[in-house]
């Protein structure tokens, strides 16, 4: 059961929190030994920057600089542990790594605000190895509007520069990620993109009424255009409480809830829709984590199998659906 996980914040944790650690030996939920246990085929690593940390450092310009450092850091790690892990910029490179017994690392950017209205930066990011970009985080940026409980924000979509970004990402062969986007942005990106979209780490709003999650209508439209969504393990996006409660209470991250979100995605979006986007190392683990790290992914596999999901179907969820989007979107 090969695994492809579309989202983790392990680079951030290794660089800022887990002092003296590296990809081999750390206190994170993602490490080379854990990935080996999980039979990871590819792990997407997000270069995430939190704008508030850069208020005195030129804002998004400072974030852009930091992303270069994060890219450099991950490349250093793949060099240091080159027997075990290699960068993959295409489906073919991922296959080659697998044939050589290596895990693939795929570089991504979370927070397109770092483009600062400069379309050429997308080309630079591509050249530096970035293959997926999450258009926004939880702030309005030069591309468009984020998820929000305020209807006035949630309904707003792409800015003119954002339309340019969608077209350029399509042309470059970069995967467009609409996790964190407003509903308005979601619908406009769907309209403008010629390639399938991903929601790399988002769950179902029908089960957990959080603005970060996808409505059934969004799931159906995303699925019918070849898109996918990765189930996020963060308790607040899994929980079944009302949306106000989800904000305050640190919900536990339970296998039963993950299972329920995947079953719902299967029901509404079909076999080729659900994938995995754990968000490991990106959320505060104050509550119970029934899957504390990537080596314990089998717990979810077993729960789904018990619920009647076939092994062929599970293979699609674990890796097949992401592989298809990589084949259709990334350049050879
Ligand atoms: Zn995120």
**Going by C-beta distance under 8 Å and a sequence separation of 6 or more, which residues neighbour residue 28?**
10, 13, 14, 18, 21, 280, 281, 293
List, for residues 196-252, the tens digit of each pLDDT value.
999 999 999 999 999 999 999 999 999 999 999 999 999 999 986 554 554 545 578
Cα 8 to ligand 1 centroid, rounded to whole Å: 8
Ligand 1 centroid to 273 CA: how many Å? 19
Nearest by Cα to 30 from 330, 280, 324: 280
210: its two tokens: 């959080």
E strands, the chain, are: 3-5, 40-48, 85-87, 103-110, 130-134, 175-177, 198-199, 228-231, 274-276
Helices (H), 251-297: 255-269
pLDDT in tens, 6-65: 999 999 999 998 889 999 999 999 999 999 999 999 999 999 999 999 999 999 999 999
pTM over 0.75: yes
Question: Where in the sequence is the domain holding 165, given as residue range(s)?
Answer: 3-329
* 155 CA distance to ligand 1 middle (Å): 20
Task: Return the closest-CA partner of residue 129 out of 151, 104, 154, 146.
Answer: 104
From the CA of 43, how far away is ligand 1's center (Å)?
Answer: 15
Measure 147 CA to ligand 1 centroid, in angstroms. Answer: 11
Joined tokens for residue 276: 């995995």
Task: Identify the H or E element spanning 121.
Answer: helix 120-127
Q: From the CA of 308, how far away is ligand 1's center (Å)?
A: 30
Q: What is the distance in A from the centroid of ligand 1 to the CA of 244?
A: 19
Q: Measured in angstroms, how far is the CA atom of residue 100 from the centroid of ligand 1? A: 31
Ligand 1 centroid to residue 313 C-alpha, Å: 26
Distance (Å) from CA 130 to ligand 1 centroid:
16
Position 240 scores a pLDDT of 60
Predicted pLDDT at 19:
85
CA–centroid distance, residue 7 to ligand 1 (Å): 8
* SS3 assignment, position 278: coil
CA of 279 to the centre of ligand 1 (A): 7
Give residues with Cβ within 8 angstroms of 30, minimum separation 6: 5, 8, 10, 43, 280, 281, 293, 294
Residue 144 Cα to ligand 1 midpoint, Å, equals: 16
Average pLDDT rounded to a whole number, residues 310-324: 98
Domain CATH for 299: 3.20.20.140
Go through the chain and tell me how many residues it has. Answer: 332
Query: Cα of 6 to ligand 1 centre, how many Å?
Result: 11
CA 321 and chain centroid, separation: 14
Alpha-carbon gap, residue 86 to 157, rounded angstroms = 36
Give the separation between CA 279 and CA 203, rounded to whole angstroms.
11
Ligand 1 center to residue 180 CA distance, Å? 7
Average confidence score pLDDT of the chain: 95
Ligand 1 center–CA 1 separation, angstroms: 25
Distance 299 CA to ligand 1 centre (A): 23
Distance (angstroms) between ligand 1 centre and the Cα of 99 equals: 31
DSSP for 220-254, written as a single string:
HHHHHTT-EEEEP--HHHH--S-HHHHHHS---B-
The total number of structural domains that make up the chain: 1
Per-residue pLDDT tens for 55-109? 999 999 999 999 999 999 999 999 999 999 999 999 999 999 999 999 999 999 9
Distance, CA 140 to ligand 1 centroid (Å)?
14
CA of 322 to the centre of ligand 1 (A): 18
DSSP string across 192-226: H-SS--EETT--BTTTS--TTSBPHHHHHHHHHTT
CA 213 – ligand 1 centroid, Å: 11
List pLDDT tens digits, range 104-150.
Answer: 999 999 999 999 999 999 999 999 999 999 999 999 999 999 999 99
CA–centroid distance, residue 3 to ligand 1 (Å): 20
Cα–Cα distance measured from residue 260 to residue 203, given in angstroms and rounded to the nearest whole number = 10
């Amino acid at each position: 059961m090969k695994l492809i996980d579309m989202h983790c914040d392990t680079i951030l944790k290794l660089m800022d929190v887990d002092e003296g650690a590296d990809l081999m030996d750390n206190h994170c939920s993602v490490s080379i030994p854990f990935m080996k246990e999980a039979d990871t085929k590819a792990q997407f690593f997000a270069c995430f920057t939190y704008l508030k940390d850069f208020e005195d450092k030129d804002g998004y310009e400072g974030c852009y600089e930091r992303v270069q450092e994060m890219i450099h850091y991950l490349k250093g790690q793949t060099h240091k542990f080159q027997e075990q892990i290699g960068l993959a910029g295409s489906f073919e490179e991922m296959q080659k790594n697998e044939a050589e017994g290596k895990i693939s690392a795929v570089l991504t950017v979370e927070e397109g605000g770092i483009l600062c209205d400069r379309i050429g930066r997308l080309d630079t990011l591509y050249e530096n190895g970035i293959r997926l970009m999450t258009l926004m985080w939880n702030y309005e940026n030069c591309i468009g509007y984020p998820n929000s409980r305020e209807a006035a924000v949630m309904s707003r979509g792409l800015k003119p520069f954002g339309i340019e970004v969608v077209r350029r990402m399509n042309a470059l062969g970069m995967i467009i990620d609409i996790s964190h986007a407003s509903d308005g942005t979601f619908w406009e990106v769907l309209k403008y993109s010629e390639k399938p979209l991903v929601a790399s780490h988002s769950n179902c709003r029908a089960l957990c009424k959080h603005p970060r999650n996808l409505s059934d209508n969004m799931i159906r439209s995303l699925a019918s255009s070849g898109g996918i969504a990765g189930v996020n393990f963060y308790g607040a996006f899994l929980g079944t409480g009302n949306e106000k409660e989800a904000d305050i209470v640190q919900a536990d991250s339970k296998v039963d809830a993950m299972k329920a979100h995947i079953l719902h995605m299967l029901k509404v979006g079909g076999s080729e829709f659900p994938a995995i986007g754990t968000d490991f190392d990106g959320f505060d683990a104050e509550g119970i984590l029934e899957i504390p790290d990537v080596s314990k992914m089998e717990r979810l596999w077993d729960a789904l199998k018990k619920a009647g999901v076939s092994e062929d179907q599970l293979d699609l969820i674990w890796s097949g659906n992401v592989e298809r989007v990589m084949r259709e979107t990334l350049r050879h």
